[in-house]
Amino acid sequence: MKLPIEFSKKYEKILKSDFQRFVETFDEIPISAFRVNPLKKIEVEAEKIEDSDFGYYGKISGKSKEFLVGEIYSQEPAAQMVGQIARPEQDMRVLDLCAAPGGKSSHLLSYLGNTGLLVSNDISTKRSKILVENLERWGNRNNIILNESPDKLADVFSAFFDMIVIDAPCSGEGMFRKDPDAMSYWSPKYVEECVSRQKKILSEAMKMLAPTGVIVYSTCTWSPEEDEEMVAWLLNEYPNLALEFEKKYWPFEFKGEGQFLARFRNNDDSLVKKSKFRMVKSNLNSEQLKLWKVFRTRSLNFEPKGILQAFGDNLFLLPESLPDLSKLRIARNGLHIGVFKKNRFEPSYALGIALNKNDSKQEIELTDEEVIGYAKGNPIIKDKNLPNGWTHLLSDGHGFGFSKYVDGMLKNNYPKGLRIHG
C-alpha cells in the first residue's frame, strides 16, 4: 500500500526502529471480528479476543440468522476495546456522543442490560438512521437515539451523565488498511482541523458530565496531536479530571486496526452545576391507553417498565428519569412499541425483538431457514392448534418480532426496509 509521503515521514520519526514493522502491516489482510449479545446468549466456536468479554475473531454475514435476530454484531477488534474499557455499571446514565453506526452503543448496552439509560447520538441524519436499525436489532429497552450537535445536547443534559463515551471524529489513520480511501483526505492540515473539532466536542461533553462521572475518549488514529496531546489539553483545561487509563493500539502489537483510548474521572463537583430537570411524562389519551391495555393483557406476560408516550399514531416506551427532549432532534424516542390503528393496537417489530421467550402469551419458535425466509418477506406456514391473533416469533428463544397468526399461517410483518435480498 502506498502511504502519503508526509504520513510516512511523520511515523518514521515517531516509531524509529518499529517503523518498518508498522509499514508492513498495511499490506496485511484487515482483521474481522464480532461480539455476542449477552441478552441473547449463544454458543460460538471462534477464537476469543484477548481482554474482551464478548468479542471473537471471525467474519459474520449480515444475512445470517444470528445477525438478523441480534445475537451478534460485526466490529473489528481494536474498536471493541472502547466499550471494554468503558464497562458501564448497571443503572448508569450513559451518553455515546458520536454513536453511529452502533458498535460502541450496542457494546455499552451489553453491560447495562435493560437497566439505566443509554443516549446514543450522532449529528449526521443519514448515519443516525443506520444507528436506529442496528440498535433496534440489539433489543434493549433503555435506549434513546438523538440526532443533535453536542452544544444542543449540553443545553438539555447539564451535569446529567455518569459516563460519556466520545469516539471522536478523527483523521482516521487507523483505518487506512481497512479503508484505503481514508488516505485520500489525510493531510497535516486535516489533522489540525480534527484537533479543533475534538476540543469543541470535549468542551461540550464536560458540561454534561456528572460530578463523579467518567469520560472515555477514543480515536481511530495514531496522531499524537489527536491522542496524547488531546489528553494533555483536557487535563490542563479541567485540572480536577483524573486520568485513569491511556493506551494506543498499533497493528504490529495488536491483532486489529488502529485505536487510541483514554479514560478520565471527574473528581470535583465544582466543575459542573447540578440542574433540576423537567422529567418526561406519559401523554396517552384515554382511548390510546385503553387500546394499549387490551393488547398488553391479551398478549404480554408482564408490564413494561418505563414511560409510555405517543407520537402521532406511534407508541414508544421511554426509559425513566429522562429530561424533556422536546427541543432536540429525535431519531428514535425509546423502544417503539407499536402503532395505534382504528379500534386496535398493532405491536412493532422492535417490541418483538426486544422480548424473549415467555414474555408473550402466544409464541412460535422458528427454524433457522424460516427466520431467513421471513426476513426476505415470506409468510410462514405453521399449522398449529393456536387461536388466531398476534404471535411472538422466536429463534432459539430470542424474539424476532410479532406476526398475525391466521388459520395456520404467520403473515409477514418484517419491516420492508430491513428485508434481505438474494
Q: Which of 356, 378, 360 is nearest to 369 (CA)?
A: 378
Residue 418 lies in a domain: no
Strand segments, DSSP code E, in 255-388 are 259-266, 307-311, 314-318, 330-332, 335-341, 344-347, 363-365, 380-381
Strand segments, DSSP code E, in 229-328 are 241-249, 259-266, 307-311, 314-318
Q: Which of 302, 279, 406 is nearest to 355 (CA)?
A: 302
Rounded-to-integer distance, Cα 26 and Cα 177, Å? 5
Q: Confirm or deny that 100 is annotated as ligand binding.
A: yes
Q: Confirm or deny that 104 is annotated as ligand binding.
A: yes
Residue 215 lies in a domain: yes
Q: Domains in the chain: how many in total?
A: 1
Report the percent of the chain where pLDDT is more than 90. 91
- Of the ranges 68-72, 192-196, 324-328, which one carries the lowest mean pLDDT score? 324-328
Report the percent of the chain where pLDDT is more than 70. 98
Q: Confirm or deny that 170 is annotated as ligand binding.
A: no
Catalytic residue among 49, 118, 205, 220: 220
Q: Confirm or deny that 103 is annotated as ligand binding.
A: yes
Amino acid at 27: D
Which residue did the predictor score with more confidence, 278 or 93?
Answer: 93
Residue 304 lies in a domain: no
Domain holding 149: CATH number?
Answer: 3.40.50.150
Q: What is the mean pLDDT of residues 43-56?
A: 94
Element (H, E) at 164: strand 161-167
Residue 20 lies in a domain: yes
Q: Helix, strand or coil for residue 4?
A: coil
**If pLDDT is split at 50, 70 and 90, which confidence band does 385 have?**
confident
Task: For residue 112, give every residue at least 6 positions away whose Cβ sits within 8 Å of its Cβ, in sequence order, or none.
Answer: 88, 90, 91, 92, 94, 118, 140, 142
pLDDT at 280: 83
Q: Confirm or deny that 101 is annotated as ligand binding.
A: yes
Paired residues of 117 in beta bridges: 93
Active site (annotated) includes residue 170: no
Residue 346 lies in a domain: no
pLDDT at 203: 98
pLDDT at 276: 61
- With a cut of 90, say whether residue 20 has pLDDT above it: yes
In this predicted model, what pLDDT tens digit does every residue of 231-267 receive, in sequence order? 999 999 999 899 999 999 999 999 999 999 999 999 9
Q: What is the mean pLDDT of residues 354-366?
A: 96
pLDDT at 422: 74
Rounded-to-integer distance, Cα 26 and Cα 23, Å? 6
In this predicted model, what pLDDT tens digit does every residue of 268-306 receive, in sequence order? 766 445 556 677 889 999 999 999 999 999 999 999 999
Residue 414 lies in a domain: no
Q: Domain containing 92: what range?
A: 5-266
- With a cut of 80, say whether residue 384 has pLDDT above it: yes
Residue 338 lies in a domain: no
In this predicted model, what pLDDT tens digit does every residue of 328-349 receive, in sequence order? 999 999 999 999 999 999 999 9
Q: Helix, strand or coil for residue 72?
A: strand
- Say if residues 49 and 57 touch (Cβ distance below 8 Å): yes
Residue 142 lies in a domain: yes
Q: Which of 53, 109, 127, 139 is nearest to 397 (CA)?
A: 139
pLDDT at 37: 97
Reading the block at residue 300, the C-alpha cell is 404480554
Reading the block at residue 388, the C-alpha cell is 388466531
pLDDT at 35: 98
Q: Confirm or deny that 167 is annotated as ligand binding.
A: yes
Reading the block at residue 333, the C-alpha cell is 424516542
Reading the block at residue 240, the C-alpha cell is 480536577
